[in-house]
């Protein structure tokens, strides 16, 4: 556990690179059940379990890149393809008895709650990104899903390994909504999280396409907009469906999908009486 921040992105990268990434207990339980019936399962079934857990998704992508041989010159950008490349038997052999998030953060219940909320936010972003990618007839929807799910993976890692610092960031942002998250992150972690994200993506050789989709420098590309708008909507709606930033989100989503604001709200299920309250209750359900 890190109580004092490192001074630069390289130090954070070095720390995370030697750390064993934990996964959700539910993920481990589901994989154990699939392992017991390995002869009856397939890559798509396993992929659906992995994609419910951003950290497990990250482990698989880092694993496949670490195992890359010289003869493979193409990136593996989706979990299902990664599983096909790894093979069922090697996957079940190498992905068992994994460290568990709930055990790691047992002494830090506030951080565990913050982590679970962040993971739930990432799942919602991935779901919306998927919906819009299908609507846009994207050529590879699964790539968009993975990019949205992992967009804030460094924030999730911070909850796991620097819980006290991450609680500080969350409390400051909650106390003053006018603060910019980048400024608070830089003050607490010494480095904004997006810098650590890009440095980790390069160090772990994560697929270049996914890195591009997660990089806001490419904001003009429709696929990048798809990912970023889903992430923004998930982040803002997590503050409540009355968040002041949401009208701008609806407008930007409408421009991406060529829909009116009313049509966007309809796709989100927000066009009925009390829909926002129902959405908030649904979003706060434990996962």
Q: How far is CA 71 from the centre of its chain?
A: 30
180 and 255 assigned to the same domain: yes
Same-domain pairing of 180 and 241: yes
- Residue 73 has a pLDDT of 65
From 79, 101, 123, the end of a domain falls on: 101
Q: Are residues 149 and 117 in the same domain?
A: yes
d(CA 8, CA 15): 11
Residues 131 and 256 in one domain: yes
In this structure, is residue 10 part of a structural domain? no
- Same domain (yes/no): 25, 126: no
Domain end: 61, 86, 101, which one? 101
Structural domain boundaries, residue 144: 106-283
CB 19 within 8 A of CB 25: no
Cβ distance 27 to 50 under 8 Å? yes
- Residue 175 in any domain: the answer is yes
User: Which residue(s) pair with 23 in the sheet?
Assistant: 100
Count of domains observed in the chain: 2
Q: What is the pTM of this model?
A: 0.91
Q: Which of 101, 135, 152 is the last residue of a domain?
A: 101
pLDDT given for residue 282 in this prediction: 54
Tell me which residue of 92, 82, 107, 68 sits closest to 205, measured CA to CA. Answer: 68
Q: Identify whether residues 91 and 112 lie together within a single domain.
A: no
Residue 134 and residue 237 in one domain = yes
Please tell me whether residues 78 and 214 are part of one structural domain: no
In angstroms, the CA 14 to CA 212 distance is 22
Domain-located, residue 6: no
Sequential pLDDT tens for the chain (287 residues) = 899 999 999 999 999 999 999 999 999 999 999 999 888 899 999 999 999 999 999 999 999 988 776 656 678 889 999 999 999 999 999 999 999 999 999 999 999 999 999 999 999 999 999 999 999 999 999 999 999 999 999 999 999 999 999 999 999 999 998 889 999 999 999 999 999 999 999 999 888 888 888 887 887 899 999 999 999 999 999 989 999 999 999 999 999 999 999 999 999 988 776 655 555 555 555 44
Residues 161, 38 share a domain: no
| 59 and 190 fall within a common domain | no
Q: What is the DSSP string of 228-285?
A: HHHHHHHHHHTT-TT-TTHHHHHHHHHHHHT--HHHHHHHTT-SSTTHHHHHHHHHTS
Given its phi and psi angles, is residue 97 left (phi above 0), alpha (psi -120 to 50 degrees) or beta? left
Distance CA 28, CA 104 (A): 14
């Amino acid at each position: 556990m890190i109580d004092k921040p490192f001074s630069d992105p390289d130090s954070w990268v070095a720390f995370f690179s030697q750390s064993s990434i934990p996964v959700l207990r539910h993920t481990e339980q589901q994989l154990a059940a699939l392992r017991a019936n390995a002869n009856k399962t397939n890559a798509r079934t396993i992929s659906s379990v992995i994609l419910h857990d951003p950290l497990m998704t990250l482990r698989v992508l880092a694993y496949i890149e670490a195992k890359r041989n010289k003869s493979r010159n193409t990136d593996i950008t989706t979990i299902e393809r990664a599983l096909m490349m790894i093979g069922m038997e090697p996957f079940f052999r190498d992905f068992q008895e994994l460290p568990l998030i709930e055990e790691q953060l047992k002494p830090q219940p506030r951080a565990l709650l913050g982590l679970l909320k962040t993971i739930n936010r990432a799942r919602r972003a991935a779901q919306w990104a998927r919906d819009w990618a299908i609507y846009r007839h994207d050529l590879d929807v699964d790539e968009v899903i993975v990019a949205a799910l992992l967009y804030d993976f460094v924030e999730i890692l911070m909850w796991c390994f620097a819980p006290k610092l991450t609680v500080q960031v969350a409390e400051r942002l909650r106390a003053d909504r006018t603060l910019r998250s980048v400024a608070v992150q830089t003050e607490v972690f010494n480095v904004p999280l997006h810098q650590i994200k890009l440095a980790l993506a390069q160090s772990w050789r994560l697929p270049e396409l996914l890195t591009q989709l997660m990089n806001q420098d490419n904001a003009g590309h429709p696929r990048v907009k798809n990912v970023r708008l889903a992430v923004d909507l998930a982040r803002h709606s997590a503050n409540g469906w009355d968040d002041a930033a949401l009208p701008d989100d609806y407008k930007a989503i409408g421009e991406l999908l060529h829909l009116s604001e009313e049509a966007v709200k309809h796709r989100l299920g927000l066009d009925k009486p009390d829909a926002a309250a129902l959405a908030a209750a649904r979003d706060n359900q434990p996962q």
